[in-house]
Chains A and B, each alone.
Chain A
Amino acid sequence: MRLTRTLALMAAVVAVAACQDKKQEAPAPAAPQAAAPAAGGAPAGDKLVFGHVASMTGNEATFGDSTDKGIKLAVDEANKAGGVKGKQLTVKTLDDQGKPEEAAVAATRLVTQDGATVLLGEVASSRSLAMAPIADSNKVPMITPTSTNPRVTKDGDKTRPYVFRVCFIDPFQGTVMAKFARENLKINNVAVLRDVGNDYSVGLANFFAAKFKDLGGTIVADESYKAGDQDFKAQLTAIKNKKIQAIYVPGYYTDVALIARQARELGIKVPLMGGDGWDSVKLYEIAKGALDGSYFSNHYSSEDPSPVIQGFVKKYKETYGSVPDALAVLGYDAANVAIDAMKRAKDLTGPSIRDAIEQTKGYQAVSGVINLDQDHNAVKSAVVLAIKNNEAHFAATVNP
């Protein structure tokens, strides 16, 4: 029968893939895979599971990859230090391909089948929004590392009881850059170039524009691009003749680097400004000096001499051989906030951990001192980094 043959082939393909995966996973440095063969079978009795939902494939795989590395590093460290309440931690990462509906399925599976104690993720607000109701209804605390949209921790007007974040929110970050542009750089006319398909970029652009206008500035042009575009010269040419003093580009580094290069190629010499989506060594590698004189707001500065930051950067480099980007840092912080709360919690049930996370005050994380406010947002200062000689240097700290 042809059908049987087909099925046998399919089974073979899956089997080969499964073997390949095991081989690949074994040498991975930071994967604490002691219980690898019993994956899924073991109940969460002696192990605590961190469920991580991330885009490991698809357009935003590079971001999911960074966060995952940060989280695994944090968990590895905690395990070496004896775990939490005598129990070892494991990370179970499920891929969502960058799609909200898949994030919902992945989160549900982690909570109901893998017995995840805490949910971590997602990078993008649109996916975190799909996970949040699942965390709430299953009473499993969820910490998102980098979703900056205010709505993630809100259900209408109410704060979602089980959803937290370790990053600041868009209104704050937009304000930071608007203030910096008006007060420090004395800029009056700004053009905005946003990624129209990305909720992060659109949100940040809106908050920046509102605050910038409040402070007496003018938005002279509002242009859009779409992530994955390779050519931005049309928009930049349109912006060029508008007497601008700066361009606000709240996008991901993957696009910003090209935008910067093409702006310079068109003879646009004004600084570019952006947000935490810029933070990656790849930005400078691709931009190749085109971003000199530009500014972006971020969670931390890798130049900061504080031992927490330097220690983390060193460990990360030793483990993965690359400099951590903002997403890796926040993944690491999110996992650590959860670990810290679990240590303080009276027991390891969802509600107790939730209460402990809510009481997080003055926690020294890599991205700054984290205080969670009543809306479950991290209140912490932001830094503005200036790019000189193709490197980011600390320029200012802006407090909330």
Chain B
Amino acid sequence: MRPVRIVLRSALPFLVALPLLFALQGVISPGWAIVLISAGINVILAVSLNVVNGFTGQFSIGHAGFAAVGAYTAAKITTAMHGLQIVGLSAGVSDQVVFLLALLAGMVTAALAGVLVGMPSLRLRGDYLAIVTLGFNEIIRVIIENTPFLGQATGISGLPRLTTVVWVGMGAVATISMARRLVGSTHGRALLAIREDEVAAEAMGVDTTGYKVRAFVIASAFAGLAGGLLVHLIQLCTPRSFTFVKSIEVVVMVVLGGMGSVTGSVVAALVLSFALEGLREVQQYRMVVYSLLLIVLMLTRPSGIFGTREIWDIVKLPGGRRKAAGAETSP
């Protein structure tokens, strides 16, 4: 493929999504918008965690910790830049540019945290790795609670409200296309090989540790993006938004959607977000119903909504889309 085509192909989803998102933003009511935005943030979290838990078969339950790193970085930048204007840009545009930079910076710091946590995964397996990620999540929280610079338990308030349907939509598109393109790439194949059989993968010459760390780093970066988007939605950045309970919620989305199924994560994130939102009316019964849903869903569809397949493997479009080659790696 020539470079131009590669660029075009990667840019295509964004070019298609952007006008659609702007149109959506124009017609949607604020009440629906905030529900949709929260759901979109969950989509980013679930799809990115799927890279570690689903593709690579590693078990991470500290995703909210990475989101916290990204969130605090972005929050610190936007509050520091608040009221400042980049020369040559109008106030509105300048804010958007700052926001983009803040989100990117959040992704970078979260990715660095991913390197830090990815390293122990060189040695640890399964539940031991899970504990390390959980521990990392808790350590992040403890550090925030003890750092006056980060506002301790109260957090950072008064953030500008920058997160919109368009921002979250673009973030989700970026995350999904990252995951889809990853799965089809050499890297993705290596990750799937590690999931299916780590020893065999190693024997076939896959640098298992290197790929595991890379998977961690990618997933963390996008978790950081989700964190940055979340705090600029609620205009408040506190450790309470990033407890291990949040991490568990994301794990639930990934497993429910089907490990390794990108569309599964998307659907599960949306279904669970909307279900919880719809259930808000029933007050105390809300979480009881939610837990029953989890149990019933897992009992009836034990490999998740889509298993390891994608939505187009199940629902055939009339156009007859070519089956994704990586779809049938495991039964």
Instruction: Report A-B touching, CB under 8 Å.
Output: yes
Residue total for A at the interface (Cβ-Cβ under 8 A): 53
Which of chain A's residues have a CB closer than 8 A to the CB of B157? Answer: 129, 151
The residue in B161, B234, B241, B301 that gathers the most chain A C-beta atoms within 10 A of its C-beta is B234
Q: Is B184 an interface residue (CB 8 A)?
A: no
Main secondary structure of the interface of A (DSSP, over half): helix
Comparing A104-112, A233-241, A326-334, the segment that makes contact with chain B is A104-112
Q: Is A5 an interface residue (CB 8 A)?
A: yes
A320-360: which have CB < 8 Å to B?
A: none
Q: B234 touches which one: A57, A97, A100, A203 (CB < 8 A)?
A: A100
Comparing B15-23, B98-106, B147-155, B201-209, the segment that makes contact with chain A is B147-155
Closest to B300 in A: A6
Q: Is A90 an interface residue (CB 8 A)?
A: no
Report the separation of the CA atoms of residues A125 and B158 in the bound assembly, to the nearest whole angstrom: 13
Report the separation of the CA atoms of residues A17 and B286 in the bound assembly, to the nearest whole angstrom: 8
Which of chain A's residues have a CB closer than 8 A to the CB of B164? Answer: none
Q: Is B175 an interface residue (CB 8 A)?
A: no
1/0 per residue, CB under 8 A from A, across B203-241: the answer is: 000000000000000000000000000100111101111
Which of chain B's residues have a CB closer than 8 A to the CB of A185? Answer: none
Structural contact, B158 and A155, CB atoms closer than 8 A: yes
Q: B38 touches which one: A17, A101, A133 (CB < 8 A)?
A: A101
Comparing B111-119, B166-174, B274-282, B316-324, the segment that makes contact with chain A is B274-282
Structural contact, A17 and B35, CB atoms closer than 8 A: no
Structural contact, B241 and A99, CB atoms closer than 8 A: yes
Structural contact, B283 and A101, CB atoms closer than 8 A: no
Residue total for B at the interface (Cβ-Cβ under 8 A): 47
Structural contact, B153 and A202, CB atoms closer than 8 A: yes
Structural contact, A133 and B235, CB atoms closer than 8 A: yes
Structural contact, B34 and A156, CB atoms closer than 8 A: no
Structural contact, A125 and B154, CB atoms closer than 8 A: yes
Q: A104 touches which one: B234, B239, B279, B280 (CB < 8 A)?
A: B234
Which of chain B's residues have a CB closer than 8 A to the CB of A5? Answer: 300
Q: Is A313 an interface residue (CB 8 A)?
A: no
Q: Is A14 an interface residue (CB 8 A)?
A: yes
The residue in B30, B283, B314 that gathers the most chain A C-beta atoms within 10 A of its C-beta is B283
Main secondary structure of the interface of B (DSSP, over half): helix
Which of chain A's residues have a CB closer than 8 A to the CB of B29? Answer: 112-113
Report the separation of the CA atoms of residues A197 and B245 in the bound assembly, to the nearest whole angstrom: 15
Q: Is A149 an interface residue (CB 8 A)?
A: yes
Structural contact, B154 and A126, CB atoms closer than 8 A: yes
Report the separation of the CA atoms of residues A379 and B17 in the bound assembly, to the nearest whole angstrom: 52
Q: Is A95 an interface residue (CB 8 A)?
A: yes
Closest to A25 in B: B283
Within the complex, the shortest CB–CB distance from A59 to chain B, in Å, comes to 10
Which of chain A's residues have a CB closer than 8 A to the CB of B305? Answer: 3, 6
Closest to B288 in A: A17
Within the complex, the shortest CB–CB distance from A130 to chain B, in Å, comes to 5
Closest to B282 in A: A21
Q: Is A39 an interface residue (CB 8 A)?
A: yes
Report the separation of the CA atoms of residues A100 and B38 in the bound assembly, to the nearest whole angstrom: 12
Structural contact, B280 and A95, CB atoms closer than 8 A: yes
The residue in A18, A129, A198 that gathers the most chain B C-beta atoms within 10 A of its C-beta is A129
Which of chain B's residues have a CB closer than 8 A to the CB of A93? Answer: 283
Which of chain A's residues have a CB closer than 8 A to the CB of B297? Answer: 6, 10
Structural contact, A149 and B235, CB atoms closer than 8 A: no
A68-95: which have CB < 8 Å to B?
A: 93-95
Structural contact, A100 and B296, CB atoms closer than 8 A: no
Q: B280 touches which one: A94, A100, A101 (CB < 8 A)?
A: A94
Structural contact, A130 and B154, CB atoms closer than 8 A: no
Which of chain A's residues have a CB closer than 8 A to the CB of B158? Answer: 151, 155-156
Which of chain B's residues have a CB closer than 8 A to the CB of A13? Answer: 289, 292-293, 296
Structural contact, A106 and B234, CB atoms closer than 8 A: no
Closest to B230 in A: A101
1/0 per residue, CB under 8 A from B, across A113-137: the answer is: 1000000000001100110010001
Report the separation of the CA atoms of residues A93 and B296 in the bound assembly, to the nearest whole angstrom: 28
Which of chain A's residues have a CB closer than 8 A to the CB of B292? Answer: 13, 17
Closest to A57 in B: B287
Which of chain B's residues have a CB closer than 8 A to the CB of A9? Answer: 296, 300
Q: Is B145 an interface residue (CB 8 A)?
A: yes
Structural contact, B31 and A108, CB atoms closer than 8 A: yes
Q: Is B329 an interface residue (CB 8 A)?
A: no
Structural contact, B301 and A18, CB atoms closer than 8 A: no
Which of chain B's residues have a CB closer than 8 A to the CB of A197? Answer: 141, 145, 153, 239-240
Structural contact, A21 and B283, CB atoms closer than 8 A: yes
Q: Is A184 an interface residue (CB 8 A)?
A: no
Closest to B157 in A: A129
- The verdict on A106 contacting B280 (CB below 8 Å), with A10-B297, A198-B153 known, is yes
Report the separation of the CA atoms of residues A156 and B314 in the bound assembly, to the nearest whole angstrom: 52
Which of chain A's residues have a CB closer than 8 A to the CB of B278? Answer: 14
Which of chain B's residues have a CB closer than 8 A to the CB of A105? Answer: 34-35, 38, 277
Report the separation of the CA atoms of residues A200 and B227 in the bound assembly, to the nearest whole angstrom: 24
Report the separation of the CA atoms of residues A113 and B235 in the bound assembly, to the nearest whole angstrom: 21
Q: Is B312 an interface residue (CB 8 A)?
A: no
A-B pairs with beta carbons under 8 Å apart, 25 shown: A5-B300, A14-B275, A17-B285, A17-B288, A17-B289, A24-B285, A40-B281, A100-B240, A101-B233, A112-B30, A113-B31, A126-B155, A126-B240, A129-B236, A130-B234, A133-B161, A155-B158, A156-B158, A196-B145, A197-B145, A198-B153, A199-B238, A201-B153, A202-B153, A203-B154
Question: A: which residues have CB within 8 A of B?
Answer: 2-3, 5-6, 9-10, 13-14, 17-18, 20-21, 24, 39-40, 56-57, 61, 93-95, 97-101, 103-106, 108-109, 111-113, 125-126, 129-130, 133, 137-138, 149, 151, 155-156, 196-199, 201-203
* Given A3-B305, A13-B289, A40-B281; 5 other pairs, CB 8 A cutoff: A3-B301, A104-B234, A106-B280, A126-B154, A196-B145
Nearest 3 CB-CB pairs, A to B? A112-B31, A199-B154, A104-B234
Question: B: which residues have CB within 8 A of A?
Answer: 29-31, 34-35, 38, 141, 145-146, 152-155, 157-158, 161, 230, 233-236, 238-241, 275, 277-289, 292-293, 296-297, 300-301, 305, 314
